[in-house]
């Protein structure tokens, strides 16, 4: 976690959601240990953003690392009012490729699926280099980036996700 970057993201209107602390596959853990891992991540993000750790997240959205979940974990998060997001397609950006290759791959997948939620990793240089062209291509293709917010609508509450214009 890089607190200055997280604070900047929030200040610019983006949402900083939750993803665990160490990024383990939570379905391989006992439910109590998995929830402790989630809670540790929530506390770390809230400490970075607001200066104090919190057991109750300011951002009620979560994505499981590797999409590895269990019904018990889903129930526990739902009971706490935390919505779980996934992705419909991904950039495969954990594989090394040129930004142009990644752009071609993501746009092909996006068109084949007529939109949806796209998983990108902000820690990958190739993805960062590809992003301006990706946003341009989205607009040129009639897609739009939408921002998901919590019911109260007071503060940005999720990662940016993609949606078609239809």
In this structure, the answer to whether residues 132 and 116 fall within a common structural domain is yes
In this structure, the answer to whether residues 95 and 78 fall within a common structural domain is no
Q: Tell me what pLDDT residue 57 has.
A: 67
In this structure, the answer to whether residues 102 and 41 fall within a common structural domain is no
Q: Please say which residue of 65, 84, 103 terminates a domain.
A: 84
Q: Tell me what pLDDT residue 95 has.
A: 94
d(CA 59, CA 64): 15
Q: Which residues of the chain have pLDDT under 50?
A: 154-166
pTM of the full structure: 0.79
Q: From start to end of the chain, where are the E strands?
A: 61-62, 83-84, 89-90, 118-119, 144-149, 156-163
Q: Tell me what pLDDT residue 78 has.
A: 92
* Residue carrying structure tokens 């062209």: 133
Looking at residue 12, which CATH number applies to its domain? 3.20.20.370
Q: Tell me what pLDDT residue 55 has.
A: 59
In this structure, the answer to whether residues 78 and 103 fall within a common structural domain is no
Q: Tell me what pLDDT residue 56 has.
A: 65
Q: Tell me what pLDDT residue 123 has.
A: 85
Largest CA distance in the chain: 47
In this structure, the answer to whether residues 24 and 74 fall within a common structural domain is yes
Range of the domain at 93: 89-163
Q: Please say which residue of 30, 57, 84 terminates a domain.
A: 84
In this structure, the answer to whether residues 58 and 103 fall within a common structural domain is no
Domain tally, the chain = 2
In this structure, the answer to whether residues 39 and 62 fall within a common structural domain is yes
In this structure, the answer to whether residues 103 and 64 fall within a common structural domain is no
Q: Tell me what pLDDT residue 155 has.
A: 44
Residue 134 structure tokens:
């990706």
Q: Please say which residue of 17, 51, 84 terminates a domain.
A: 84
Q: List all residues 6 or more positions away from 28 whose beta carbon is below 8 Å from its beta carbon.
A: 68
């Amino acid at each position: 976690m890089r607190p200055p970057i997280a604070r900047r993201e929030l200040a610019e209107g983006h949402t900083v959601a939750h993803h665990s602390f160490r990024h383990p596959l939570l379905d391989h853990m006992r439910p109590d240990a998995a929830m402790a891992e989630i809670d540790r991540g929530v506390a770390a993000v809230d400490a970075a953003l607001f200066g104090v750790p919190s057991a109750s997240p300011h951002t009620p959205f979560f994505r499981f690392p590797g999409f590895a979940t269990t019904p018990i974990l889903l129930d526990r998060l739902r009971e706490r009012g935390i919505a779980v997001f996934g992705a419909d397609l991904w950039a495969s950006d954990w594989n090394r490729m040129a930004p142009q290759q990644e752009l071609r791959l993501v746009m092909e997948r996006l068109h084949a699926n007529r939109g949806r939620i796209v998983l990108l990793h902000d820690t990958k240089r190739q993805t960062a280099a590809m992003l301006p062209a990706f946003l341009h291509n989205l607009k040129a293709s009639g897609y739009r980036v939408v921002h998901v917010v919590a019911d109260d609508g007071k503060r940005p509450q999720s990662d940016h996700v993609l949606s078609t214009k239809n």
